[in-house]
Amino acid sequence: MKYKRILLKLSGESLMGDKQYGIDNEMVRKYAEDIKAVHDKGLQIAIVIGGGNIFRGLSAEKSGMDRAQADYMGMLATVINSMALQDALEKVGLKTRLLTAIKMEQICEPFIRRRAVRHLEKGRVVIFGAGTGNPYFTTDSAAALRAIEIKADVVLKGTRVDGIYTADPEKNPLATKYKEISFKEVYDKSLNVMDMTAFTLCEENKLPIIVFDMNKSGNFMKIANGEEIGTLVR
């Protein structure tokens, strides 16, 4: 295995499957099986999930809602997604812990860095919910921050596309894919990888990012084995 400890970032939209909103249980089950296969190889896995399939703070702000209020609602949406994934992971036999940046004692533990690391060392899959616990920060920022805090080897960003392209491949059929790219090139070419706060955090802490298609079964395992899947940013 190329990595020992990884942070997997999933978008909330990825949990929708073919639905227009909400959670597709079949998609969540598929993710759980892929995660179990990698975990069974001895990797320590932490996960951050977005909440865009349920509620998106920025969209609510545009319709007139207070931004901070909308962002807190978005954080709660990430907890719902985290609980759904936790349930699916436990159904395939994994031990998990859900840690959130907002205290919800009845359903999860508060985020404590040392506790999170200890759970990983004991072989539990750790899910981080509620973003950073602060408005104005995305779940990309939460993923970067938690990855740095737990000393992850890499951030794996699972998306619907198989890497970073010169343009949006869903809109431009002539877009070409980067196999590897530097942080500086991403800045210079204004490519959309993560939000700037998250991206800068990774760059400053020399934390590589791999953008890949999580929806293609087996890709997660290939990356864990060191195969060159997706696009590496370093």
Helix (H, G, I), strand (E, B) or coil at 27: helix
Domain 5-163 in CATH 3.40.1160.10? The answer is yes
Render each residue's pLDDT in the chain as its tens digit; 234 residues.
Answer: 789 999 999 999 999 988 888 999 999 999 999 999 999 999 999 999 999 999 877 778 788 899 999 999 999 999 999 999 999 999 999 999 999 999 999 999 999 999 999 999 999 999 999 999 999 999 999 999 999 999 999 999 998 888 999 888 878 888 899 999 999 999 999 888 888 999 999 999 999 999 999 988 899 999 998 898 999 999
Question: What are the structural domain ranges in the chain?
Answer: 5-163
Spatial CA neighbour of 9 closest among 172, 180, 174, 202: 202
Rounded distance between C-alpha atoms, residue 234 and residue 224, angstroms: 17
Instruction: Give this prediction's pTM.
Output: 0.94
Strands of 34-176, DSSP E: 44-49, 96-100, 109-110, 125-129, 154-159, 164-165
